Amino acid sequence: MLPRRVAKRSRNVVAKLAAVALGAGFAALGVGPAQVLASGPQTLTGTFGDGATYLIQVPAHWNGTLVLYSHGYVTPGSPNPATDAGDPITGQWLLNNHYALAGSSYATTGWAVQQAIPDQLATLKTFDHLVGKPHRTIAWGHSLGGMITAGLVQVAPRDFTAALPMCGVVAGGVQTWNLALDSALAVQQLLGPTSGLQIVNIADPTGNLTIAEGLYAGAQATPQGQARIALAAALGDIPGWFNPASPEPAPTDYATQEANQFLWATEVDGPFAFALRAELEARAGGNFSWTGGVNFWQQLQESPDYKEVKALYHAAGLSLSADIATLTAAPRITSDPSAVAYVKHYIVFNGDISMPVLTLHTTGDGLVVNEDEAQYKKTVDAAGKGYLLRQVFVSRAGHCTFTPAETIAAFKALIHRVNTGHWGHLGPSALNAVATSLGPVANTAPAAYIRFTPLRFQRPAS
């Protein structure tokens, strides 16, 4: 378990992510789990032998389709209940439309892919035993749960009909943590080379996060520090848009972009990079990331933040080439092969999907960047299965900040593909029209589907 301070801080991070998500306006709307359950579905709960719990809801006139939800990252030390829907409004819509819901807690918190996949499959077997075998099973999930969703249909394709991974870590675990390491290296080498900040093999998560917080705070107070924060963000493809309730900063509003990247770094990404990473290192038995072979110049030039970094470096009177040379000259970080093997097993993707998969992502996600989708598409296309994959995007800042209406619109598009064998209309105008038609309760913000193509994911697995 992580030290108490880190666990508390990280719970706050998760709470902020939930609060930032526009779907978190449910409390203001007076809609909560108790009211969802009061509408009358049969509710089944229980506990597996490994300690994971499950939750199943079946409407009175079940249509034969089960929707299996995989929840996201739960910080060690936080409550970990079984969850069968991403938000109560979407969950109620599914029940009202006669879909059954199911999901488990997973046996552990943290990077629980190893436990989540068997626990979710056990939930399917339990549903078969208690309710009956569904005609169709749709997998869906958010964030780490999006990764688990894509993992489920890869390792157990016969158990599923289609999948909806949302804001998922679909670039794969090794790739995602490698990208984060590049950003952390810039913080270590440019903001605090003598600070003792650890970016792998983190021995003291609490102290390490404290060091990182101090480095960020000091840097943000000077133009030179702000330029270097922007460089670190660019190497991780972290967007310059943080608040989903605000408009995206103008393309040349570099000061606001950097201020938003500072918020991502200090309020969301930093706790994962400098503290919570230790939880996965303990699972894997060592360091699973490396910097060997990284071309930092190329990575920066291909980043959507490149112009911002150049402008801020120029304004601060700093040499960008000198700082890139510092990163290039830094001692190479090598990985533990057995730790890499663990994270690859739990999980990276081979692209060999055998059913329709629709992914959903916001354009301004700084925790799981939208470039994850580019990597997943590249992998699926390489396996010759691109015809089974579609990807849609919502123009909004934040991690998993979809409205219930946007989520339901995506689900309806996926069900259309299952029912007809054709993808139908997945353009932004069609999806926004479907979302808007669901009314004000489900539209906690105006529907914001957009035509968007993410840039290349910078860090492959090998």
Q: What is the DSSP string of 91-122?
A: HHHHHHTT-EEEEE--SSSBS-HHHHHHHHHH
Give mean pLDDT, residues 351-358.
Answer: 98
Q: How far apart are CA 389 and CA 373, in angstroms?
A: 11
Using the predicted structure, report yes or no on whether residue 8 has a pLDDT greater than 60. no
> DSSP alpha helices (H): ranges in 25-156?
26-29, 33-37, 88-96, 113-130, 144-155
The whole-number pLDDT of residue 461 equals 60
Give mean pLDDT, residues 359-384.
Answer: 98
pLDDT > 90: percent of the chain? 90
**Token digits for 400?**
């998993």
Give mean pLDDT, residues 32-54.
Answer: 73
Give mean pLDDT, residues 393-417.
Answer: 98
Label residue 459 by pLDDT band (50, 70, 90): confident
Using the predicted structure, report yes or no on whether residue 4 has a pLDDT greater than 50. no
Using the predicted structure, report yes or no on whether residue 180 has a pLDDT greater than 50. yes
Domains of the chain, CATH where assigned: 10-172+347-450 (3.40.50.1820), 173-335 (no CATH)
pTM score of the predicted model: 0.92
The whole-number pLDDT of residue 38 equals 36
Phi/psi of residue 43, nearest 5 degrees: -115, 125
Give mean pLDDT, residues 91-116.
Answer: 98
User: What's the count of helices (H) and strands (E) in the chain, helices before strands?
Assistant: 19, 9
Using the predicted structure, report yes or no on whether residue 116 has a pLDDT greater than 80. yes
The whole-number pLDDT of residue 34 equals 30
The whole-number pLDDT of residue 28 equals 26
What would the pLDDT profile of 55-93 be if each residue is shown by its tens digit?
A: 999 999 999 999 999 999 999 999 999 999 999 999 999
Using the predicted structure, report yes or no on whether residue 242 has a pLDDT greater than 70. yes
Label residue 23 by pLDDT band (50, 70, 90): very low
> To which residue do tokens 């290349």 refer?
456
Least confident span in 22-36, 155-169, 229-243, 389-403: 22-36
The whole-number pLDDT of residue 3 equals 43
Give mean pLDDT, residues 333-359.
Answer: 97
The whole-number pLDDT of residue 11 equals 46
Q: How wide is the angle at C-alpha 220 spanned by C-alphas 214 and 225, nearest 5°?
A: 100
Q: For residues 13 and 256, which has the higher predicted lDDT (pLDDT)?
A: 256
> To which residue do tokens 């830094």 refer?
330
The whole-number pLDDT of residue 430 equals 98
What would the pLDDT profile of 195-239 be if each residue is shown by its tens digit?
A: 999 999 999 999 999 999 999 999 999 999 999 999 999 999 999
Using the predicted structure, report yes or no on whether residue 436 has a pLDDT greater than 90. yes
| 191 and 265 Cβ atoms separated by less than 8 Å | no
Using the predicted structure, report yes or no on whether residue 115 has a pLDDT greater than 50. yes
Length of the chain: 462
Instruction: Provide the mean pLDDT of the chain.
Output: 92
| 255 and 309 Cβ atoms separated by less than 8 Å | no
Orientation angle between helical segments 320-329 and 223-235, nearest 10 degrees:
50
Reduced to 3 states (helix: H, G, I; strand: E, B; else coil), residue 44 is strand
Q: How far apart are CA 366 and CA 8, in angstroms?
A: 21
The whole-number pLDDT of residue 35 equals 32
